[in-house]
C-alpha cells in the first residue's frame, strides 16, 4: 500500500514541481514582499519630487515660521540618514553605538543644527569611516517655498489666486535652479487670522473664507504641507495665547513635553524579564501571519489537487490507474504528493520572507538596537521559532488543515468532469472557506475569548483559529481537545471521501447532487 | 479444467445500477495462453464486465477468478490493461508515462525506464520518447498507452477496443503485438465490435448482447451456427434451384449475386451439378462458409439495431 502510494505521491510532487504555475507562485510571494517593503521607500525617496509652494503673507509674520519648520524637519531627515550612513560605513560601529543612539533621539536635531548640521556631522566621522565608503548623499527636500512668479505681483487675495491659477493647474511652469517645475500649492494667509476658539465657542458659522488660511492645491492626496502649515502656525498661536493669559510659554512647552512613563509588562515572562518589547508584540501577531500563509498554502494546494483529479478523470487515465492501484492508495498518494508540494512552497516562502526582512530591514550583526529593535526582527523571529511551539504547531496545523480541505476537494474533484463543474460546486461552500480569513485580525486581540473558543471547536476552522491562538496561552482543553477532535474529523472525512472517490472517479455525465453524495457515503461498500 | 487452471473465470456475474442490469448472469472461461475475443455491439456490457474483472467495480452478484485469485488487485502486477477510453498525462514525457505505469506494477524504476525506452524504440516511437504526450498524435498516444500496459510484461493482457482510433498500418502492428503475446504464452482478452480482427486473431470468443452472453466457443464453432451457402451469378432465373431439397432459402444480394442457404450436410457440388442440369449459364459460383460477421449480425443484429435506435 505504502509503496504504491509513495509512487503516486512522487509523480504528483515531481510533476507539480515542473509546472510554471508552481514556480510562479513560489517566486511571486517573496517578490511581493520585497516590493511591499521597497516600493514605499523608493517612492518616498525618489518618486516624490520636491514640492514648491508660494506663501502670501501680508503680515510677514508666518512665512519665516513655515520655512523654519520645513528646515527643522529636513534637518531631522538629514540627521537620520547620516546615522544610517554611519552605521553602514563605520569601521567599528560598535565603538560608536552610544554616540549614534544619542543622535537618534528626537531632541537631538537642535544640537545637530547648532553643531554645524551635515558638514559638522561628516567632519566628526572623518577617519572613522571604512576606506572606500561612498560619499554621503543627503535626502531630497520635501517642501520648498519660493517667491511668487515674476509675472504675478503681490496683490489682494482674490486677484492673487486668479493670477496664480495657471501655475496651480500646471498650465504654467516655474523656473527653479534652471529647472522647470510645477507649483504645488499656494498658501494665502490673511492679515488677521480668525480666532477659531471663539468661533467654536459661539457656534457661529462663517460662510466666507475671511480670516482663514487658504491652502490652494490640486493635489488632494499629499497633505504633508497642509499639516505642516497648521501645526507650525498653531503652535505659535498657542504660545502667543499663553503669553496673553500671563503664562510662561517656556514652562507650558516643558509641561507639554511631559510623557506618561509607562512600560508594558507580561506576568507570564520570567522574573526580571517581564518588560514587553517589540519581540513580544511580534510574538502576539506573528501567528496571524502564519495563519494567512496557512490559508493561502492550503487553498493553493487543495486547488492543485482538484485540478489533478479532474485531469486524470477527464483524460480517462483514472481507469488505468485503478487497475493498478486501489482508490485508497491513489487518494493517499495524491494527498501526500500535494501536501509535499505545499510544504515545499511554504518552506520557500518562510525562508525567503526571512531573507527579505533581513536584507531590507536589518543586517543581523549591525550595531545599535539590541533585541527588540526593528533591525533585529529577523533574529527575533528566529528566536521566537526556536523557543516557542510556533513552528511545530504551524506544521501540525498545516498538515491537519491541509487534510481537512484537500480531502474535501479530492472527493469533490472525483465527482466532476470539468474544472467548471467543480467551480460551480465550490461556489456554494466558498463563504464557509472565507470565514477563517476574516477572523485573522480578531483572534489575537482576544485569543481566549468566546469567539476564538467557539470557532476553535468547528473542525474546518480549527487549524486556522488554533494556529492564531498558539502564542496566546490557550487552555489545555482547547489545545488537546480540538486536536483530538480534528484528528477524528479528518479520519471520518477520509473514510467518506474514499467512498465518494471510488464511485465518483468512474462516473461520467452530470455531477451528483449533494443528497446523492450523502447516499454514496452512507451506503454499504 | 479447475478454476485455478483458467486464466479467467466468471461465474454467474451480474451488475445492476439501480433498475438497470448492465451485465446479467455472465459466465465465462478463458484458458491460459490464448487470444480470447470479447465481442458484442455497443452497450452489450463488455466494458462493465472488464471493469469487474479488473476489480475497478464490484459485481452485484457472482464470482470472478483471475489468474487463480479472487481479487484482480491481488494479482494486479501480472495483469496489463488498456481501457476503451484512452488518455495520458499531457505534460509527461512518453518514456516517463510508460515507466510510471510499469513502476505501479512493481517494476523497479531503473528497469522501468530502460524498458520504456526499449519498447518505444522497438515500436517506432524512439524519436518521441522525450516528447510530452500532448505533442503526440492520437495514434502515437494510443501506442504509448498500449506500451504502458505491457511494460511490466504481464501474463494476462486485457485490451478494451484496442483497434479503435488506429490507422490500418497501426492496426496491423497491434495485431502483431497480440500474436506475439500469445507466442510468448501470455493470455490476451480483447473486446471489439470489428469482426475482422476477431476472425484473424481469436482462439476463442464470446458474444454478448444486452448484458447477456449469447455465444462462447471457437470461431469455427461460431461459424458452424449458420448453415453453409453458395453464391452464384447468372442472368437466368434461379427458381429451379430454389426447388431443390437441400436449399432452405435464397435471396439476391445488393451486388446482383444470388445467395442460396443450404441445409447442413448438403454438398455444394450437388447444387453445381443441378445448375448444369438446368442449363444455367453461370458467370461465377462459390461455396462459402459463413463469416464471423454474418454470425454476429445473425445473433445480435436486432438487439444492436434497437440499441442504436434508442
A317 to chain B, minimum CA–CA distance in Å? 5
What pLDDT is attached to residue A230? 92
* CB within 8 Å: A325 and B104: yes
Percentage of chain A modeled with pLDDT above 70:
88
Q: Is A359 on the interface with B (CB under 8 A)?
A: no
Per-residue b/e over A148-170, b at no fewer than 16 CB within 10 Å?
bbeebeeeebeebbeebeebbee
Residue to mutate among A319, A321, A509, with most B CBs inside 10 A, is A319
B95 vs A434, higher pLDDT: B95
Of the listed ranges A86-100, A360-374, B53-67, B212-226, the least confidently predicted one is: A360-374
- Residue A333 in any domain: the answer is yes
Per-residue b/e over B128-145, b at no fewer than 16 CB within 10 Å?
bbeebbeebeeebbbbbb
Q: Is A324 on the interface with B (CB under 8 A)?
A: yes
pLDDT bin (cut points 50, 70, 90) of residue A55 is very high
- Among chain A residues, the shortest Cα distance to B105 is held by A324
Output DSSP code: residue A375: G
Together in a domain, A32 and A140: no
What pLDDT is attached to residue A360? 62
Beta partners for A275? A265
- Among chain A residues, the shortest Cα distance to B109 is held by A7
Together in a domain, A16 and A99: no
Say if CB A404 and CB A501 are below 8 A apart: no
Q: A298 pLDDT exceeds 80?
A: no
B134 to chain A, minimum CA–CA distance in Å? 11
What pLDDT is attached to residue A150? 82
pLDDT bin (cut points 50, 70, 90) of residue A388 is low
Total length of chain B: 310
Query: CA end-to-end span of chain B, whole Å?
Result: 41
B187-224 pLDDT, tens digit per residue, is 999 998 888 888 889 999 999 988 999 889 998 888 88
Q: A480 pLDDT exceeds 70?
A: yes
DSSP run (H or E) holding A516? helix A514-522
- Residue A267 in any domain: the answer is no
B82-101 pLDDT, tens digit per residue, is 988 778 888 899 999 999 99
> Burial, A110: exposed, middle or buried (Cβ in 10 Å; 0-12, 13-18, 19+)?
exposed
* CB within 8 Å: B51 and A319: yes
Question: What's the whole-number mean pLDDT along residues A122-128?
Answer: 86
Q: What is the dihedral of CA A35, A39, A41, A45, to 10 degrees?
A: 150
CA angle A445-A451-A455, nearest 5°?
A: 115
User: Shortest CB distance from B83 goes to which of A15, A312, A319?
Assistant: A319
- Residue A221 in any domain: the answer is yes
Question: What's the whole-number mean pLDDT along residues A135-159?
Answer: 85
Question: What's the whole-number mean pLDDT along residues B148-157?
Answer: 94
Say if CB A411 and CB A496 are below 8 A apart: yes
Residue B101: count of CB within 10 angstroms of its CB: 27
- Among chain B residues, the shortest Cα distance to A525 is held by B58
Q: Is B190 on the interface with A (CB under 8 A)?
A: no
Q: Is A315 on the interface with B (CB under 8 A)?
A: yes
What pLDDT is attached to residue A372? 46
Together in a domain, A207 and A292: no
What pLDDT is attached to residue A371? 44
What pLDDT is attached to residue A206? 45
Output DSSP code: residue A128: T
Cell digits of residue A396 = 501540525
Instruction: Give B236's Cβ-side CA count (13 Å radius).
Output: 13
Together in a domain, A236 and A172: yes
Nearest-angstrom CA–CA distance, A331 and A309 = 10
- Residue A269 in any domain: the answer is no
Chain B window 241-260: which residues touch A at a Cβ cutoff of 8 Å?
none
A518 to chain B, minimum CA–CA distance in Å? 17
A426 to chain B, minimum CA–CA distance in Å? 25
Nearest-angstrom CA–CA distance, A394 and A160 = 64
Residue to mutate among B87, B111, B113, B165, with most A CBs inside 10 A, is B87
Q: Which residue's C-alpha cell is 552605521?
A: A87
Together in a domain, A291 and A243: no
Q: A273 pLDDT exceeds 80?
A: no
Q: Is A317 on the interface with B (CB under 8 A)?
A: yes
Long-range contacts of A215-218 (CB under 8 A, 24+ apart): A215/A185, A215/A186, A215/A187, A216/A161, A216/A164, A216/A168, A216/A185, A216/A186, A216/A187, A216/A188, A217/A53, A217/A168, A217/A184, A217/A185, A217/A186, A218/A168, A218/A169, A218/A170
What pLDDT is attached to residue B204? 93
Q: What is the DSSP string of A154-206?
A: ---HHHHHHHHHHHHTTSS-EEETTEEE-EEEEEE--SS---HHHHHHHT---
Nearest-angstrom CA–CA distance, B2 and A88 = 88
Tell me the C-alpha to C-alpha distance, in Å, between residue B217 and each of A87, B192, B227: 94, 16, 17
Residue to mutate among A13, A323, A506, with most B CBs inside 10 A, is A323
Judged by phi (left if over 0) then psi (alpha if -120 to 50, else beta), residue B191 lies in beta
Which residues have C-beta within 8 Å of that of residue B112, sequence separation ≥ 6?
Answer: B98, B99, B100, B102, B103, B151, B152
What pLDDT is attached to residue A53? 93
* CB within 8 Å: B91 and A324: no
Q: Label the pairing between strands B204-209 and B212-217.
A: antiparallel
Cell digits of residue A451 = 469567539
Of the listed ranges A131-140, A340-349, A503-512, the least confidently predicted one is: A503-512
pLDDT bin (cut points 50, 70, 90) of residue A124 is confident
Of the listed ranges A382-391, B89-98, B121-130, the least confidently predicted one is: A382-391
* CB within 8 Å: B72 and A323: yes
Q: A385 pLDDT exceeds 80?
A: no
Cell digits of residue A256 = 507639554
Together in a domain, A391 and A511: yes
* CB within 8 Å: A320 and B56: no
In the A/B pair of chains, how many CB contacts fall below 8 A?
Answer: 58
B106-122 pLDDT, tens digit per residue, is 899 999 999 999 999 99
Q: Is A311 on the interface with B (CB under 8 A)?
A: yes
Question: What does the mean pLDDT of chain A come to?
Answer: 81
What pLDDT is attached to residue A482? 92
pLDDT bin (cut points 50, 70, 90) of residue B10 is very high
B153 vs B261, higher pLDDT: B153
Q: Is B103 on the interface with A (CB under 8 A)?
A: yes
A32-53 pLDDT, tens digit per residue, is 877 877 777 777 666 678 899 9
Judged by phi (left if over 0) then psi (alpha if -120 to 50, else beta), residue B185 lies in left
The model's pTM is: 0.70
A181-206 pLDDT, tens digit per residue, is 889 999 998 888 876 654 444 444 44
Nearest-angstrom CA–CA distance, A33 and A26 = 12
B88 contacts in chain A (CB < 8 Å):
315, 317
Q: B245 pLDDT exceeds 90?
A: no
pLDDT bin (cut points 50, 70, 90) of residue A381 is low
Q: Is A513 on the interface with B (CB under 8 A)?
A: no
CA angle B32-B37-B42, nearest 5°?
A: 145
- Residue A263 in any domain: the answer is no
Together in a domain, A507 and A415: yes
A350 to chain B, minimum CA–CA distance in Å? 29
pLDDT bin (cut points 50, 70, 90) of residue B62 is very high
Cell digits of residue B285 = 459460383
Nearest to A101, CA basis, from A369, A407, A481: A369
Question: What's the whole-number mean pLDDT along residues B152-173?
Answer: 90
Domain of A227? 50-254
What pLDDT is attached to residue A255? 82
Question: What's the whole-number mean pLDDT along residues A310-322?
Answer: 83
Nearest-angstrom CA–CA distance, A329 and B76 = 14
Question: What's the whole-number mean pLDDT along residues A333-346?
Answer: 87
Asked whether the CA dihedral A315, A318, A323, A324 is positive or negative, the reply is positive
A316 vs B35, higher pLDDT: B35
User: Shortest CB distance from B104 goes to which of A18, A324, A506?
Assistant: A324
Question: What's the whole-number mean pLDDT along residues A16-31?
Answer: 82
Together in a domain, A216 and A331: no
Q: A373 pLDDT exceeds 70?
A: no
Together in a domain, A28 and A55: no
Q: Is A328 on the interface with B (CB under 8 A)?
A: no
Residue to mutate among A17, A320, A417, with most B CBs inside 10 A, is A320
* CB within 8 Å: B104 and A7: yes
Q: Which range, A402-416, A454-468, A499-513, is most confident?
A: A454-468
Together in a domain, A177 and A316: no
Q: Is B100 on the interface with A (CB under 8 A)?
A: yes
* CB within 8 Å: A315 and B56: no
pLDDT bin (cut points 50, 70, 90) of residue B159 is very high
Together in a domain, A375 and A464: yes
Nearest-angstrom CA–CA distance, A129 and A517 = 73
Phi/psi at A396 (nearest 5 deg)?
A: -65, -50
What pLDDT is attached to residue A75? 92
- Among chain B residues, the shortest Cα distance to A333 is held by B104
- Residue A234 in any domain: the answer is yes
- Residue A270 in any domain: the answer is no
The 3-class SS string of A234-293 reads HHHHHHHHHHHCCCCHHHHHHHHCCCCCCCCECCCCCCCCCECCHHHHHHHHHHHHHHHH
Q: A295 pLDDT exceeds 60?
A: yes
* CB within 8 Å: A316 and B148: no
* CB within 8 Å: B56 and A7: no
Q: B310 pLDDT exceeds 60?
A: no
Percentage of chain B modeled with pLDDT above 70:
95
Nearest-angstrom CA–CA distance, B212 and B24 = 5
Question: What's the whole-number mean pLDDT along residues A122-145?
Answer: 87
Q: A80 pLDDT exceeds 80?
A: yes
A319 contacts in chain B (CB < 8 Å):
51, 56, 81, 83, 85
Of the listed ranges A75-84, A358-367, B225-234, the least confidently predicted one is: A358-367
Report residue A385 CA to chain centroid gap.
20
- Residue A45 in any domain: the answer is no
Nearest-angstrom CA–CA distance, A474 and B27 = 64
Q: A370 pLDDT exceeds 70?
A: no
Q: What is the DSSP string of chain B?
A: --GGGSSEEEEEEEEEETTEEEEEEEEEEE-TTSEEEEE--TTSSHHHHHHHHTTSS--SEEEEEETTBS-GGGGGGGEEEE-SS----TTSBHHHHHHHHHHHTT--HHHHHHHHHHHHHHTT-GGGTTSBGGGS-HHHHHHHHHHHHHTT--SEEEEESTTTT--HHHHHHHHHHHHHHHHTT-EEEEEES-HHHHHHH-SEEEEEETTEEEEEE-HHHHHTTSPPEEEEEESS--HHHHTSTTEEEEEE-TTS-EEEEE-TT--HHHHHHHHHHTT--EEEEEEEPPPHHHHHHHHHHHHHHHHHH-
Output DSSP code: residue A90: B
Question: What's the whole-number mean pLDDT along residues B130-143?
Answer: 89
Q: A348 pLDDT exceeds 80?
A: yes
Together in a domain, A284 and A141: no
How many domains, chain A? 2
User: Shortest CB distance from A326 goes to which of B73, B89, B149?
Assistant: B73
Nearest-angstrom CA–CA distance, B190 and B82 = 9
Q: Is A202 on the interface with B (CB under 8 A)?
A: no
Q: Is A326 on the interface with B (CB under 8 A)?
A: yes
What pLDDT is attached to residue A424? 80
Amino acid at each position: 500500500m505504502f509503496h504504491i502510494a509513495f509512487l503516486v505521491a512522487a509523480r504528483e510532487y515531481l510533476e507539480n514541481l515542473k509546472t510554471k504555475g508552481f514556480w510562479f507562485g513560489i517566486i511571486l510571494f517573496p517578490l511581493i514582499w520585497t516590493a511591499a517593503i521597497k516600493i514605499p521607500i523608493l517612492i518616498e525617496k525618489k518618486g516624490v519630487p520636491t514640492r514648491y509652494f508660494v506663501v502670501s503673507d501680508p503680515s510677514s509674520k508666518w512665512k519665516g515660521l513655515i520655512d523654519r519648520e520645513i528646515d527643522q524637519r529636513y534637518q531631522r531627515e538629514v540627521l537620520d540618514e547620516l546615522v544610517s550612513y554611519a552605521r553602514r560605513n563605520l569601521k567599528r560601529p560598535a565603538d560608536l553605538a552610544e554616540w549614534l543612539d544619542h543622535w537618534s533621539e528626537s531632541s537631538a536635531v537642535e544640537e545637530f543644527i547648532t553643531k554645524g548640521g551635515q558638514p559638522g556631522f561628516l567632519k566628526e566621522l572623518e577617519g572613522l569611516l571604512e576606506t572606500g565608503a561612498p560619499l554621503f548623499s543627503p535626502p531630497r527636500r520635501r517642501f520648498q517655498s519660493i517667491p511668487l512668479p515674476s509675472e504675478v505681483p503681490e496683490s489682494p487675495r482674490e486677484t492673487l489666486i486668479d493670477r496664480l491659477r495657471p501655475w496651480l493647474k500646471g498650465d504654467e511652469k516655474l523656473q527653479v535652479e534652471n529647472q522647470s517645475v510645477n507649483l504645488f500649492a499656494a498658501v494665502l494667509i490673511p492679515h488677521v487670522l480668525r480666532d477659531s476658539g471663539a468661533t467654536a465657542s459661539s457656534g457661529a458659522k462663517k460662510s466666507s473664507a475671511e480670516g482663514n488660511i487658504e491652502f490652494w492645491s490640486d493635489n488632494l492626496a499629499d497633505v504633508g504641507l497642509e499639516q505642516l502649515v497648521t501645526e507650525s502656525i498653531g503652535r505659535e498661536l498657542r504660545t502667543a495665547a499663553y503669553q496673553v493669559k500671563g503664562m510662561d510659554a517656556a514652562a507650558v512647552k516643558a509641561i507639554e513635553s511631559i510623557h506618561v512613563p509607562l512600560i508594558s509588562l507580561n506576568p507570564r515572562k520570567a522574573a526580571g524579564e517581564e518588560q514587553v518589547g517589540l519581540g513580544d508584540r511580534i510574538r502576539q501577531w506573528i501567528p496571524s501571519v502564519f495563519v494567512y500563509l496557512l490559508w493561502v498554502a492550503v487553498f493553493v494546494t487543495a486547488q492543485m489537487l482538484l485540478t489533478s483529479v479532474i485531469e486524470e478523470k477527464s483524460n480517462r487515465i483514472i481507469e488505468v490507474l485503478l487497475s493498478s492501484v486501489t482508490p485508497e492508495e491513489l487518494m493517499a498518494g495524491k494527498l501526500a504528493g500535494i501536501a509535499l508540494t505545499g510544504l515545499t512552497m511554504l518552506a520557500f516562502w518562510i525562508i525567503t520572507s526571512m531573507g527579505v526582512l533581513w536584507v531590507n530591514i536589518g543586517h543581523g550583526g549591525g550595531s545599535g538596537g539590541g533585541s527588540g529593535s526593528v533591525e533585529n526582527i529577523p533574529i527575533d523571529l528566529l528566536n521566537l521559532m526556536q523557543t516557542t511551539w510556533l513552528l511545530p504547531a504551524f506544521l501540525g496545523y498545516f498538515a491537519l488543515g491541509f487534510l481537512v480541505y484537500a480531502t474535501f476537494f479530492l472527493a469533490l474533484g472525483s465527482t466532476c468532469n470539468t474544472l467548471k463543474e467543480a467551480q460551480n460546486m465550490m461556489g456554494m461552500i466558498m463563504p464557509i472557506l472565507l470565514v477563517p480569513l476574516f477572523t485573522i485580525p480578531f483572534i489575537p486581540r482576544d485569543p481566549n475569548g468566546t469567539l476564538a473558543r467557539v470557532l476553535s471547536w468547528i473542525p474546518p476552522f480549527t487549524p486556522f483559529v488554533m494556529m492564531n491562538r498558539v502564542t496566546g496561552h490557550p487552555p489545555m482543553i482547547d489545545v488537546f481537545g480540538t486536536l483530538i477532535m480534528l484528528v477524528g474529523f479528518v479520519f471520518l472525512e477520509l473514510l467518506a471521501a474514499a467512498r465518494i472517490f471510488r464511485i465518483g472517479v468512474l462516473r461520467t455525465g452530470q455531477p451528483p447532487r449533494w443528497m446523492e453524495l450523502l447516499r454514496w457515503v452512507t451506503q454499504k461498500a | 479444467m479447475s478454476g485455478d487452471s483458467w486464466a479467467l473465470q466468471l461465474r454467474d456475474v451480474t451488475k445492476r445500477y439501480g433498475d438497470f442490469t448492465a451485465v446479467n448472469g455472465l459466465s465465462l472461461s478463458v484458458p491460459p495462453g490464448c487470444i480470447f475475443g470479447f465481442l458484442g455491439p455497443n452497450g452489450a456490457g463488455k466494458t462493465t464486465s472488464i471493469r469487474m474483472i479488473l476489480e475497478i467495480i464490484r459485481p452485484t452478484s457472482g464470482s470472478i477468478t483471475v489468474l487463480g485469485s479472487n481479487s484482480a488487485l491481488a494479482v494486479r502486477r501480472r495483469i496489463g490493461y488498456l481501457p476503451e477510453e484512452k488518455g495520458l498525462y499531457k505534460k509527461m514525457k512518453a518514456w516517463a508515462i510508460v515507466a510510471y505505469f510499469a513502476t505501479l506494477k512493481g517494476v523497479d524504476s531503473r528497469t522501468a525506464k530502460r524498458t520504456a525506452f526499449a519498447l518505444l524504440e522497438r515500436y517506432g516511437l524512439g524519436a518521441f520518447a522525450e516528447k510530452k504526450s500532448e505533442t503526440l498524435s492520437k495514434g502515437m498516444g494510443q501506442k504509448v498507452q498500449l506500451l504502458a500496459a505491457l511494460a511490466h510484461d504481464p501474463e494476462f493482457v486485457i485490451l478494451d477496443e484496442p483497434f479503435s482510433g488506429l490507422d490500418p498500418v497501426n492496426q496491423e502492428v497491434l495485431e502483431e503485438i497480440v500474436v506475439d503475446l500469445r507466442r510468448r504464452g501470455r493470455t490476451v482478452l480483447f473486446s471489439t465490435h470489428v469482426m475482422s480482427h476477431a476472425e484473424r486473431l481469436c482462439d476463442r470468443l464470446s458474444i454478448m448482447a444486452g448484458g447477456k452472453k449469447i455465444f462462447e466457443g471457437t470461431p469455427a464453432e461460431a461459424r458452424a451456427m449458420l448453415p453453409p451457402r453458395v453464391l452464384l451469378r447468372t442472368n437466368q432465373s434461379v427458381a429451379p434451384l430454389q426447388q431443390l431439397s437441400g436449399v432452405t432459402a435464397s435471396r439476391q444480394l445488393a451486388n446482383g449475386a444470388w445467395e442460396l442457404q443450404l441445409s447442413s450436410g448438403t454438398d455444394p457440388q450437388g447444387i453445381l451439378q443441378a445448375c448444369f442440369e438446368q442449363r444455367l449459364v453461370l458467370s461465377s459460383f462459390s461455396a462459402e462458409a459463413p463469416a464471423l460477421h454474418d454470425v454476429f449480425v445473425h445473433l445480435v443484429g436486432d438487439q444492436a439495431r434497437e440499441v442504436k435506435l434508442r
